[in-house]
Amino acid sequence: MRRQWIGGNWKMHGSRSMASALAGAVAEARFGDVDVALFPPFPYLREACAACAGSAVAVGGQDVSEHESGAYTGEVSAAMLRDIGCTVALAGHSERRQYHHETDAMVAVKVAQALANDLTPVLCVGETLEERDGGRMAEVVLRQLGAVVAHCGIAAFERIVVAYEPVWAIGTGRTASPAQAQEVHALLRSQLARDNARIAGSIRIVYGGSVKPGNAAELFAQPDIDGGLIGGAALQATDFLSICAAAG
């Protein structure tokens, strides 16, 4: 039985006081068998790290630079995230792929940077509606996954969380049905099993895309869904904590 994982991606929302209050409320909660991580905007990472210090709640960057250091204005390195107390980082969120033109190759290097700096990478994969409707879902998610396997090696997946986030379900209120999500999670797991059955059996593959307190339990009950990456519903402590409770 895999331990469930829940992440709260705040995206570009909030303020310093909101970050302290929300992270503080999550840090004070008691969870069952679930690992919990928060992804505030970069300027509020320190508030969240302070609020979560001494708790079991991890804090991470919503993105991480593919570069180690240097003249890359606006970038934040994995070492910097680690330096301020982060232990986790998102890589390849669809909003980064879509609006910042991150390629599979760039995402793979970001994952490697996170690993090299002792951060748990959360590798996001997912197809657009056009790709799904065109019968290309499997091709897209396996290509996104395969780029990281090729660059980092299968052993790296011992330390990676994979998030399946169909782009058409993110922030749209349109959730993948539990059966639709399960199908993709099983596909990703079986692809990893071709390289290493043990790692495929133990890796957490979490679902993201309009998860709410009302649909979380049914999604998390699927055999290959090991928790969730939560956007909108992570901005209210009560909603986020009830989703964590559904996983634990």
Alpha-carbon span 183 to 187, nearest angstrom? 6
Shortest distance, position 169 Cβ to ligand PEP, whole Å: 6
Site for ligand PEP in 62-81 (CB under 6 A): none
Q: What are phi and psi of 4, to 5 degrees?
A: -75, 160
Is-catalytic flag, 165? yes
What is the x/- site pattern for ligand PEP, positions 10-49, by CB under 6 A?
Answer: -x--------------------------------------
185 catalytic per annotation: no
The H-assigned helical ranges of the chain are 16-28, 45-52, 78-83, 94-99, 104-116, 129-133, 137-152, 178-195, 197-202, 216-220, 237-247
Instruction: Report the residue from 6, 45, 184, 229 that binds ligand PEP according to the rule CB under 6 A.
Output: 229
x-or-dash string of contact with ligand PEP, 206-225, rule CB under 6 A: --xxxx--------------
**Residues 121, 136: Cα–Cα separation, whole Å:** 26
Query: Pick the catalytic residue: 66, 95, 165, 185?
Result: 165
Q: Exposed/middle/buried for 32, CB within 10 Å: 0-12, 13-18, 19+?
A: exposed
Least distance in Å: CB of 194 to ligand PEP?
27
Question: Within a 13 Å sphere around the CA of 240, how many CA atoms are in the beta-carbon half?
Answer: 29
Residue whose Cβ sits closest to ligand PEP: 231
* Catalytic-labelled residue, pool 66, 93, 127, 185: 93
Distance CA 242, CA 50 (A): 23
| Residues numbered 171-190 forming contacts with ligand PEP, rule: CB under 6 A | 171
Which residues are at the interface with ligand PEP (CB under 6 A)?
Answer: 9, 11, 165, 170-171, 208-211, 229-233
